[in-house]
Structure 1
């Protein structure tokens, strides 16, 4: 009798374990009343009371869940490339292509990874331009200096890591047969700063001449006004000094009256 009870208990435990195993499967984390209610990461619950199914190749699940579908994997394309591929329990990680850098911590956007003048991008860092090259700051890469000898010229200004070499044409030799002949200098041969000085001098001289003429005309005008004013004042003084004698005129009238018969 005891043996039968022990055997019955053993069979019940074995059956319960087999049933739970059939319900839970490899992905089930928690079951209740014979139903799987929570799946492990990398799985999803295909039914309310069913089995946990593994995520497809384009999906993932990074935490225990009871979701009916897995999360969709992120795609790294265009200006992005894969830093790490998508897996059953983790999403893909993206990074920006060469020449660009992530604009935020999650690398959801990319921006130009431009280096300052005199440097160029090497890997993810900005390094100085090698000797004999330069980068003014807007081209991104270092370019070689200009070769003056290749264009029959001489170096006028040396190159730096931020600027190119400036070449100057070689001076033309004067033929010995015509020592008196002088090569005509074109406006292009005159340095620009000499032209600027000439223009400034001409402008200053012209301004001085204009001011002199203006003040000369103004002085003549003032002198005429002064003379006119003096004439008017002199006329007024002469009119004020002219004297009239009304008594004599009156006396003349009396004499005329008295002479009548």
Structure 2
């Protein structure tokens, strides 16, 4: 009898332990564990003021103050301060309780690093206006350069500097003129050769007599 009571007591303790573990570990998505309770997370734009008092229940949440935000469900004790645009940047999206302020470099400048921690740089200009892609807030101007180094931005264009371009044009013109002259000479030679053959044939024809 004593042994039976002991087994029943051990079984009861084991059941209580299992139930306690299940109560702690069975928090659902969107909940967080507080002591032995599972509490619902606060929604975006609010922060946690007091955890729930009943399992799987709502917590006490408060809205973010001005110039502060949280953009996801959370159990944070306070909201995050919104970013502040530098004097070389401009605001493109306002700060709200659910989103941070978005800043970018002003027109005519750019910053291509992550989060743009350094100052914005002045956009480059292309010689002769050969722009492949215009400068924007996150990327410098891309120029069309024939002498670009491997890996350097810019399309490969078979362009020449002005003095070299003039020389190439003159050389091409001379080659074309020479080819035309040679073609004319060949035509003249061919014509003269045809005339000579006709004369030879004529002279041969007059020198031949018919047999009696």
Same fold, TM-score > 0.5, yes or no: no
For the aligned pair, the TM-score class normalised by the smaller chain equals 0.3 to 0.5
The TM-score with structure 2 as length reference comes to 0.39
The TM-score with structure 1 as length reference comes to 0.32
Larger Rg: 1
